[in-house]
A and B are shown apart, each in its own frame.
Chain A
Amino acid sequence: MTAPILRIEQLSKRFGGFVALDGVDLAVAPGERLGLIGPNGSGKSTLVNCICGTLRNEDGKVSFDGAQIDGLIAHERTRLGLARSFQLPRPFMSMTVAENIHVPLIYTVGARARHHLSAAELDQRCMELLALVALDGKARHYPRDLTQVEMRKLELARAVAAEPKLLIADEAMAGLSHSEVEDIVKLLIRLNERGITIIMIEHIMRAVMAFSQRLAVLVSGKKIADGTPDDVIKDKDVVGAYLGT
């Protein structure tokens, strides 16, 4: 593959005596759609946290866009172009939907460009992003007034507002209905077509298979498979550890 946009080498993370991640290697090509699956507790969210800087890994290296980012703090990584949505949506409850989108626009996009976005620019970009997720009608609402799926969309929209090169969608579809899942998958593919590399972490196999160009499987902190979706779901170890027959 051409130079990967994200490269993880021998990443390890321990919590006291518990080994959450054990020597994980992963490379993601620019523009790729990668699916990451695995049983609960396998370390997927820990991996995301380590990549994004919310947690510090003990061993191993994380490189983004060719540069090693291990020492950087979370907001610095976001400014480099790494964005994530949280598994349980974490909107800013005291701010409206639109104001939630303003935050990454001001603090990531504005900071990168080193100039203050005017109120008009902020509004315009904000509405564009909300329209992308069909939330523009609820711009003046507060997060507590949103439905589950709307909160998920807000979460994704906020991550996209940071104009990332790589987006990690952490179980964005858990608990959603069939059509809602399709909506989100379509949204993610649309975003990918704009050039954003996407890592999708999911349990819903239908969505994963529809979305991923490549699939990686994490079990008990170790990566046990990495290849095309069709190959991976037939892999003996994967079937044994996660998928079942």
Chain B
Amino acid sequence: MRTPVFVLIEIVIAVALYLAFHFFGNDYLFFAGYTVLQFIVLATAWNILGGYCGYVNFGSAGFFAIGAYTSVCLFTIGQAPEDVFPAAILPAMQAIFPLPVPVIIVIAGIMAGLVGLGTGYLTLRLRGVFFAIATLALAVVLQTLIVNWSFVGGSRGAYVIPANTVPVFGPYIQYLFALMLLLVIVALTSARLIERSSLGVGFATIRDDELAAEACGVPTLKLKLIATVLSGALMGMAGAPFPFYIGYTEPGSVFDLGYAINSIAMPMIGGTTSWAGPLIGAILLGTMQQVATVTISSAVNLLIVGLLLIGFVIVAPSGIVGLWQSWFGKRSKP
């Protein structure tokens, strides 16, 4: 299937989904659906570095937070530009701010991508294990910095109150939902493009045998940096609308452990070798968690995710996609 056709199909499904929810009438679907879409982006992003290259990122919450706090920052500036900018450029800034959400998303992606580049540059020359530990370190360092930064509210948190309604979409949540749908399309399309390109081949060699990859001429450090930047940027973009979604942003909810475990569990359970794996994993686990949080408790549902991760990793290492392929025979790539 050529890429333009794939994108077209994605857009059709996205529009259909949006309209279906819209006519259902209850905003709850949008709120719950937003979380699942967010997970699809996070899982897909994680998989670019984790599944394709074999480098585990434990700090997804950190990149997510960079996105979220870029939003908080830009929103806070937008509320009172006169507090931040010197008089010389103030008129220009007042014209630009407050920034529309899509612009904020792009800026957040760039910020997160830069952090990914920096971390990667420091640690990707070492074994994959050290990179994983460094990502863990990164998330904690970021959290400590944010907690101590009063401009974004520190540990007290910050309020981001968007408009109540938006032209065309109606309730603000529906607007955010549509933006997230767009991000999902971007993420899935990027992942699929990478998979089928020579970049994807390079990533796979890094995963399989980095030493042999170098001997074949693959510039492993450069490719790993590309993967880290792409992965981090997507995660940052997923985090950018979050303050608008949740209204009150405090470090605990942004650096929630659930993000770390889910962005690993969803691709690993869904299947790490294809763009479809994170999608399946996110939809299944995301929906399950929405149901469980309401019916049981949020702690129990995290427990289930953790147990599923351990179970799948032991029993079905290729994930659901792998199980599908072994039951129905290996098919050519979709």
Chains A and B in contact, CB within 8 Å: yes
Q: In whole Å, how far is B57's beta carbon from the nearest beta carbon of chain A?
A: 20
Q: B214–A94 contact, CB under 8 A?
A: no
Chain A interface, DSSP helix/strand/loop, else mixed: helix
Contact partner of A111 (CB less than 8 A), chosen from B207, B211, B217, is B217
> How big is the B interface, by class?
20 to 34
Q: A92–B215 contact, CB under 8 A?
A: no
Q: B214–A73 contact, CB under 8 A?
A: yes
Evaluate whether A92 and B212 lie within 8 angstroms (CB atoms) in the complex, with A99-B201, A103-B205 already known.
yes
Chain B interface, DSSP helix/strand/loop, else mixed: helix
Give the one of A92, A95, A161 with max B CB within 10 A: A92
Q: B208–A52 contact, CB under 8 A?
A: no
Evaluate whether A103 and B209 lie within 8 angstroms (CB atoms) in the complex, with A92-B204, A94-B204, A116-B198 already known.
no
Question: Which residues on the B side are within 8 Å of A99 (C-beta)?
Answer: 201
CA distance A62 to B214 in the complex (A): 18
A124 interface residue (CB < 8 Å to B) = no
Give the one of A53, A75, A78, A110 with max B CB within 10 A: A75
CA distance A95 to B206 in the complex (A): 12
A223 interface residue (CB < 8 Å to B) = no
Give the one of B209, B211, B218 with max A CB within 10 A: B218
Q: Enumerate 25 A-B pairs (CB-CB under 8 Å) in ascending A order.
A: A54-B211, A74-B214, A74-B215, A75-B216, A75-B220, A78-B214, A79-B217, A84-B215, A86-B211, A90-B209, A91-B209, A92-B209, A93-B208, A94-B207, A94-B208, A95-B201, A99-B201, A103-B213, A103-B218, A106-B201, A107-B198, A107-B218, A107-B219, A116-B198, A158-B216
Give residues in A with beta carbon < 8 Å to B: 52-54, 73-75, 78-79, 83-84, 86, 90-95, 99, 102-104, 106-108, 110-111, 116, 158-159, 161-162
Which 6 pairs of residues, A with B, have the shortest CB-CB distance? A108-B217, A74-B214, A107-B217, A90-B212, A92-B208, A104-B216
